[in-house]
Every structure is written in C-alpha cells, then in structure tokens.
Structure 1
Amino acid sequence: MGQIQLLADEHDQRLQQARQLFFDQGTLPDGLVDPMILRSWERCRRFGLDDTSYAPVMDAMDRVALKTEQDRNRYLLVQGRPIMEHVFEQIRESGSMVILADANGLLLETVGDPDFVSRADRVALLAGASWDENQRGTNAIGTALSEEAPVAVFGGEHFLEHNGFLTCCASPIFGPDGRLIGVLDISGDYRSHQRHTLGLVRLSSAIVEKRLFESVHARDILVCFHGRADYLGSPKEGIAAVSPDGQVLAINRNGTELLGIRQVDAVRRDFSMVFESNLATLVDRLRHNPQATCEISVNGKAFHVQLRGQLPPLTVAGRVFDEPAAPRPLRRPDGGSAPTLTLDTLNTGDTRLQAAIERARRMLGRDIPILIQGESGAGKEMFAKAFHNSGPRHDAPFVALNCASIPETLIESELFGYQGGAFTGARKEGAPGKIQQAHGGTLFLDEIGDMPLNLQARLLRVLQERCVTPLGSTRSIQVDISLVCATHRKLREEVARGTFREDLYYRLNGMSVTLPALRERTDIRIMVAKLAAAETASRSNPVRFSEGALQAIEGYAWPGNIRQLFNVIRVAIALLDDDETLITETHLPEELFETSPLTPSASAPNYDPWAAAPLEGANSLDAISRQAAMRALEAAGGNISSAARQLGISRNTLYRKLGRM
C-alpha cells in the first residue's frame, strides 16, 4: 500500500474517533482533529445545527437577486474569473470544481467537471447558494471566512454528515483596504483529494488580491518591496499605494507583514514615516527605468524596492514639466534602445509569417487599424506587441483587453472607464478605461469577434470621433490611440450572421494579416532553440535537443499552437537533472509520439503532469519540476517506480526532485 493511502487511512481512523467523542459523547477530541476544525464544530453546535440533519438544498436565490449580488461584487469577479479558469485548467478531469464566494459565503460563480457538478448540485454547490457556517456547518468556504485563514476540510471533518463525501480547500481574499471581501475554493470528491490543492488555492487567492490592489490603485504610485529581489512582481511582494504628495493610501497584507506593522499604522501617514525614506528621492532614482530596483532600510531590515503605477510629474524648482492630461507614456528600461520583441525578432524564417510581418511593417506609423487573424495560441498578442514595439509609439503604453474573457456586463466599464458613483461598488473617484490608458500608445483588443453588439457601436464612435465618454459622465475625453485587433473567428461570416457590425468590420479591417498555425510553420527548430535559450538564460550550460526529440516536435500537430509548445519545452527543461544538458524523447510527453493529438472528447489520465500549464507564479524551473513530479506521483497512486516511468526519469532522480519540496 502506498504511503499516501496509509496516511489517508490513519486520518480516517482519527477522524472517526473524534466524531464519536464530540457528537456521541459530547467531549472534546483534543489532538485528533485540527484545532481550526474543532473551533468550527463548537460554533456549529452553538448555532443549534444537528450533524445528522440536511441543510436545505433548494435555497439558492433567483437570477435577479443573484445578478444584483454579482454586480455588487463586480470587481472581485473581474479579477477572480481569469484566475478561476486558470486554476480549473490545473485540475480539469479530477472530479472537482472551483468556486468564488463573497464575504457572506454566497457563491457568486462556479466552474467544474460535469460529472462532479451533478453531485455538487445535490448539496447546493451552485451559484446563488450560501455556504455560511451557520447554514452549512463546517465547510471550507464558511470556515475560511470565520477564521479569516486558509482551511482544508476533509470528508468527515464537515459538521453535517451528508457533506462527508466532499473535500474542500478555501482561502480568503482581502481587498486593498484589508477588509475580507470573498473566498476562493476548490471542492471535490473526498476520495480524489490531492495534497497540493490547499497550496494551489492559497497562491491563487494571493494572485487575486494582487490584481485587485493594482487595479484599484492603478493611478497611484505603487511602491513594491520585498527582502528578496526575485520576489518582486510575485504574489508575495509588499505593495503600498502612495499619493503624489507622499501620503500612504493603502498597503497590502504582505506589506504589513514584511514591515511588521498594522494597516492603521501606515494608512494616511507620510511615506517617510512608514518607510524611513524620502519618496521624491526614490521616484527620481527609479523614474526612467520601470524595471530598476534600489535598496532601502526600514527598522534595520533591508528591502528591495521597485516603482509601478502612475508616477508624479517631474518638477524642477516647483515647476511641472511635460505633464500631459492623459496618462504618461511608459519609458523603456534601457532608456533608448529598441525593445526586445519586435517584428524583426519574430522573423525566424517561415515564409507565411514573413509575409505577414512585411505587410504589418508597411503600416508602422500610419493611422490604419491592424486586424490579426489566426487560431487560438498562434501568437496574435505577441505579434501585436512586436508591431507596437517596432513603431514610433514604442515608448508609450501597450494596453490589451481580451473581449472574450470579460463578462458582457463588465466589459463596458473596462473599455470605456466610469465616473465615480456610476454604479454600486464603483470607486468614488472613478477609473479610466483601457482606451484612456492606451492614450499615445496602442490598444490591443483580442478576440474582437466576441464583443457584444451594443459595445461595437460605442467603439465605432470612439474610432470616428477620437474621444471617449466614461460611464456616468457627459464629458468626452480626447484620445490618441493606434488600434490593433485580433480574432480567431471569420468576421465576414459573423457579419453575415448579424453578430458583428458591418461598418465596424470595414473600419477595423484596414490591414489584415493572418498568422499560420504552428503545425504549418517551417521554422519550428529555430523557435524551439529560441524558446529554450530564453528559458535557460540563467544556466551555465546551454540546453540541446536530440535529433529524435526535434523530429517528434516537428511531427506533432500542435492543437495548442505556440502556447502548448512553450509549455512542453519548459517542462522538458525542468525534468533535466542539474548536470544534464540534452533533452531527448524521454523528456517529452507521450502525446507527441501519437499519430494524432488527443481531441477534447478523447480519454486521458486525470493527472497528466504534462497537460496543464504551470501556475502563474511557478516561474522557476525547480517549481515546474516539483509540480510535474507531484502530479505524476499522485496519478500513480504514490508508486515511485510508476511515476518515474511516466516521467522518463530514474527513481533516484524523482526522489531528488520530490526532496526539493
């Protein structure tokens, strides 16, 4: 019997004994269950809940009421939805679901495997239901909200017996002001629990918090700091939002923990009192290099600092210089040399791609919209960034919006912005939309074919009049943008079906370029070499590919295009031992050696360590390696030999990679 199964059986025995002591004998089962679970059981008993009773199932609110609550939590949904989808990609086909709930335990949105969703519906794990502790007993969502801490509730740890088939892991989400605003949860069948799930939820909730903070304070100075320079930009960094006059407006939870202070000790105080440094000096040192860092000392601790957000205007002797009304264009890190990603660097020898590059190059500096077409994952956003970086606007912002990833009810405010008080939950000072943020630079609208018809009319008016009117406002704001759009749809057919405006189509289709799918390209070997070189830039010895590995890569159909290729290369590199430099067929996923790629309906193992993209934040090779090793071990039921065979490495190598956890 595997070690994982032994641990599960031991846990079940302790839990059964704990339930007998607590529910049957009325005594405290000290040492048998997690203290957090025990505190929850005691709260549920005080609520008057009966562990053998059934919580009402058909108590989900109606659509209108749910829509009202979703609008009230619109910013949580905007920032949480993409993370939910990314998390679900990691656990797809594992019999689980991802849930986002508000601060009262109301389920706002769920996404999950169909076979588990049908079972989940029986216990009201659906949008509109409440999972507050006083209604559902001990459960990850309600208990995480009560404890304001991450929690895992396994099987019989649920207070209500009929919820015992569930295993749930949840982590609270705190807003930019430090208030608890929601919770992210993964729920699944008790028998299919995976050890890494709680860590996945904790990381994902931290990412949501970071996105919320940066979104709310996008127009403030963001002082990002950490004791380790490589943690800057990660979910673990501290962030303080500071006004141009040096007042600390907000500081995230990581920041207060790093500084060892409370939120109330920092907010509304002068920057110099909190950070023991002069803000103006810091801004002057880092103004012209968004990627640069410097060190400061706070209470004897050294911190690496980086500035983001909206920096104040340059002042000399009290006078403001070169401060436009619209957001200031971002400066390149090197202060003048060309950006790394350009149309020239994209050109790796494929004839069709080279033709697209040449067509786009002729449009540089001209006020003509570009429409990029191609399959999902073919590199449309990369091409748009290269086009922006190659033209005269390369010093100004590149702002992207995916029209397919944002709900129809939210995309309008994201694109056009809003005035303070325009709707419930809006910031009192309002917020600029993507169009305003792109002033002077390039606006990239990905999946433009999915834009709702009513917004298509507004976008057309912006393009014609060169001004935008935020929601709730009557004042038009002049904008100067270069527009690049992309879609995998055939817009001519969408026009014929009436789902896309004909006048907007002709407005956008000033210059159309079509990117070839990866399987159609002739430069795959060059692409593999470039991607591998970029991924291993910190290694002392370059990575090479065997001829057999290159032939397998060239012969595969790549349904996921460049995105899938990049993931395969990252995982292959992560599986190399420290002293290895040659990637062979054993480092590549088995699907590359099949005659045709798996279709979505084809059967596949629940835990294929190669299938899921690495987590956001898992951007080191060691992290990716650990992730793949854990997935393989879980898929093999804890059998080290089987997992090593699946990964194409030795048992000793697998032990070493697991030992790095």
Structure 2
Amino acid sequence: MQLRNEQRQHIETLIRLSEGQMTGLDGCREVIRRSWERCVDEYRLDPGRPRPARVLTQQALREHREPVDELLHVARAGVDRLFAQVAPMGYVLLLTDRRGITVDFRGQREQDHALRRAGLYLGADWDERHAGTCAIGTCIHDAKAITCHQSEHFDATHISLTCTAVPITDPQGQVIAVLDISALRSPRSHESQNFALSLVNLYSRMIEDAYFLHRYRDCLILRFDMAREFVHLNGRGLIAIEEDGSIIAGNGFGRALIDAHLSRWPPWSPGLVPKATQLLDGEIGELLGILSASDDQIRAFRIRASEAICFVTLIEPRGRRIATRAVPPSLTPVPALDRLASDDPAMHRVLKLARRLRNEEVSVLITGETGTGKEVLARALHDSGKRAKKPFVAVNCAAIPESLIESELFGYLPGAFTGGSSKGMRGLIQQADGGTLFLDEIGDMPLSLQTRLLRVLAEGEVMPLGAEKAVRVDLRVITATHRDMDALIANGRFREDLYYRLNGARLRLPALRERADHHYVIRSVHESLVAKRDRDVRLRADAVSALLAYAWPGNIRQLKNALGFALATAEGDEITVHDLPEECQGGLAGVPQVLEPSSRNATSDEGRALLGLLRETAWNVSLAARRLGVSRPTVYRRMRRYGLVPPNRKDAHLENALH
C-alpha cells in the first residue's frame, strides 16, 4: 500500500511537470530534472501510464551482442569479480551496449521472477526513450556516471529500484557499453549508494583499460600514473604508440593528457595528434629504453603541458620485442654523473647536458638553491672528463675573507706584502693548472677581483702579487651560485662581461622537494654516512615516510645533517621517526609505523575501490567520507587496513590538473 501511495505521488509530480508546473521539484538534482524534461517534452512519455519492462527476443538479443562480442570476452572477468562483490548486498549486474540493451547479466536465481518483471534481466531495454529516466539510459545520454535512486526514476514502476551506471568508452572516447549494478530494495538515503558508484567506476575503468590493452596488443603501449607504486598494478594512463613515438590512441586518462597538451599548444591542422615525446619531456630512445632503465622497469618523465611528474612503463607488442636502438651519446652511462640521480626528469636533463659538456672546454655555471649539490656536480663533471687525472681545486668565494681572497686566488711572491710567507705561495688558480677550478658562490666575489678574474679567463694567464711577469695557466672554470645573477648585474654588483664568460653553459639543479627520486637520494645519503661508521644502522619505514614528507628547505645538505644526527642518537640498529630532528618528524612521531603504498597490500577489491575514490577526490578524506556516508576516522582506518598513503602535495595537485 505504501509503495502504491508513493507511485501515485510520483505520477502527480511528473504530471505537474508535464503541465509546466515546477512544484515539488525543489530537491531534485539537475541531471534528473533535465532527464525528466526530456521524457516529457522530447520523448512524449506519459507519466500516468507506466510501461512494462521491454525484453528483447533471443534473436534480437544476438544481433545486439555480436558487435560487442570482443568487449564481452574481455569484460567477463571484471563482471564476475564485481558481481561477487555486490551480490551479498542484494545487487544484480547489467552490462549493456551503447543503445541500452542488456547484453550480459548477473543475478540471483531465487529472484528471477521479480528481476524479470522489473527489467533487471538479460535482453532488457533501458534506453531513456523507452524506460524514461534511469541510470543506464541517462548515463548513455550524458556520457557520465550516475546513480538513479528510487523516486529519481521517471517510470513509477521503477521507484523502488536503485541503479548505478558508468559508461565504458572506446579508445576514441565514444560510449560503447554501460556497466550497471541495481537493487530491488535499498535504504532511503541517496548517500547509501556512494560506495556503489565508486566501485562501479573502478570496474568500468578496469574493463575499459583491459579492452584497450586487447585492442592494441600488437602495439607499443606506454602505461603511466602519478604515483610510482601503482604503475604496474593500476596505472591509469595508457597510450599506444608507433616506434617513432607517433600516438595511435589513448585511454581516458591518456586522452586527458593529450587534450591538456593540445589546449596549451593547439595543432596546426584539425585532428593532428602530438607525438609521445611532445607530451613527455624526453627522447624516443628514453621511452623505448624504459624497460632497461631501472630495476622496476619504470621511469619518471615530466609532462610538458603541466610540469607534473608522471611515472611510465612500457608494454611491448605481443610475441615480439622492439628493435634495439643505438644508445645516443647523451644517454651513454657515465658512472660519476649517473650516481647523482635515479629517476628525476629535471636531473635527467641536467645530467644529459653534463655528459655532452664533460670533455668540452666551455665554462659551466651551475645554479640552484643552497645545499642542492652544486660542488658534487662540478666534481663529477671533472672526474668524468679528460682532465680527471689533473687537480680539481674548489674555492668558496663567500668563505674566504675579502682581505685574503686576492692572495689566495692569485698567489704572491716572497716579500709581496707584510705578513705573507717568506717563500711566497702559489695561488689556487695556479694550483688548478691542467685541471678544473671550481669557484663556488661566485656571486659573492668582490667586484674588484672580478676584473682580474676576467683577465685570467680572457688571456689564460695569472699575475701573482708582486710579480712582474704573468704565468700561463691551462684550466677549465666551473662556477656555481644560489644568487640571482641577473639581479646582481642590474644592481652593478657583478660584471656583465664576466658573467657571459662564465656562463658558457648553464646547469640548474632542482631543489630536493622538486625531485621525483627522493627515496634514492635519502638511501644514497644514508648509505654514504653508514659506510663511515663501525655499525650498520637501517632506516625504518616510519622514518623514511617522515623524510619523504618533509620539504627540505636546506636540500641535500640539510638531509645529510638530519641523517647524521639520527645516526648519532639512534640507540639500536635502526633509525625510527623519533630519532630524526624534530622539524623532520612532520607530525608522524606519534604513529608507530606509517605504511607506504604497496602493490602487495592494496590488492583487495574494496581496497581498490577506496583507492579509486581517494584519487577522484584528490585524496580529500573529508569528501571521500561524505561520499561513502561514513566518518573520517572510518576512512582513515580503511586506508591503514589497505596500506593507502596519499602522494605528496604536489602529486595531488597534479592529479587535479588532469581530472
């Protein structure tokens, strides 16, 4: 009786809508309102005459199934797994073609009669033009995921149902199918279906990606994600390419990357698709060499359109391996340089250029924040070049007192000035003869000495204090600074002609917080410090998590100090978060151990669904909790259960940019 009363009230509301009255629609969602208006104005459906479910004959059903047979084959595993998840909660599963005809179905046999009568059955037609507002039909019309809950259905016979549908698109972005779960009965609250929407979204994307991989199994495929830990397990981006980098197709996330590129750099002609090397800042050899680039067969690249960092792996064509290409000189291994970074795109660019410059005589200016490793890079350039067996002389222009810097640099003869050595002294410039002179903090060099340095560089000779004859020197000069050289020149504090002598080539080191290889840097610094001690002390996971989360304003120098402090104060054979300096603990000191994302502990379907929802909400736990209809602590407990930890803030921002 109650259902009949609700049906009668529902019909009355829709009749008022058909008569141009909007009474009773105040709480109606806009997507549902638009669909109701289509049903009345465009489809001419009579709300007072509910329609029985329309189920196709076997022959008609076969005609609809044949065009999607390949998709049905690929989707079968995902359909079975999703149904296993939702069946205990009273849901049935429908997979329809792009016209809304149910071509695959999973349901409980004991509900067979009720499901057939409700249209939740194989061969049922859920086209909006026939069935009215419903999850499948409205999803097809809008090409968007939707939950149509109870009285949101147009047809009064459907208002006891709750249905959640998500489109499955082909590599061109066209809807080819719809995945739906529906229930004959459900709680009144619309929020009760939030988790259903996340779960169906997850499986529709899995089916879509499986179909993409099947369609392009004979092509090279780049698989990528914003988090390295999920590339192999659940990498969201897929782009099929030719061996020259030409893009063939992309899945939804891949097309979003292409669209982001085209929105920034519109093509010259309609339909022109960029090459993969235009999307990702790298050479084709780097893309094709991903599988040998690291132990986990993943490599980081910077997205040109957004400057975001993504992590990429390569799926080779079925049954064959790509042809081996000659390694370009810029990618030839150079141990002294290679050990400075693992998998950071900005460092790859720096080291690629450094490889080309290592045997050249051109002066190099290294810039970057304090503590980023400018002297380390300068020494690696020297050690990997043809001057490696000659001296490397480092001078900190900011550390030597101004009264002594002239004599330190240029040297002096005996008796040149009061207080000097009776034997005189060879200056640092002469000591570097045949090798490399590294002038750190060149921006702090006194203006008076800049003129003399310019002469050394221009004429290849140095005049010690007290000398009457210049001494020839053969050296390469590498300089470094954290200062804004353009501002110093504009303020008259640095000679412009000297700057152009020093800036033959410029290498900019990224800040540690900007690098994608934080874990490698932390491990390398830790191993180098441990090697100098008598005992082996390992880093526990909670300490690593805190170190990864910290912003490091002092960069690698500060990281060395922090780990040195931890090694000195740790009592056992491991460093915990409590052993780190207080500023590095980042609020993690009260947590026994923070789990890192792992392919081993995020494997359950519920964990995958939660991961999908957190990604959709850019890791906004409050929003995720509202969508699930649970409290924030509950979401945090589930995250801990499945080992889900947010990416760093930059990655979350980048994910938002691609949504």
- Report the TM-score when normalising by structure 2: 0.46
User: Which of the pair has more CA radius of gyration?
Assistant: 2
TM-score normalised to structure 1 length: 0.46
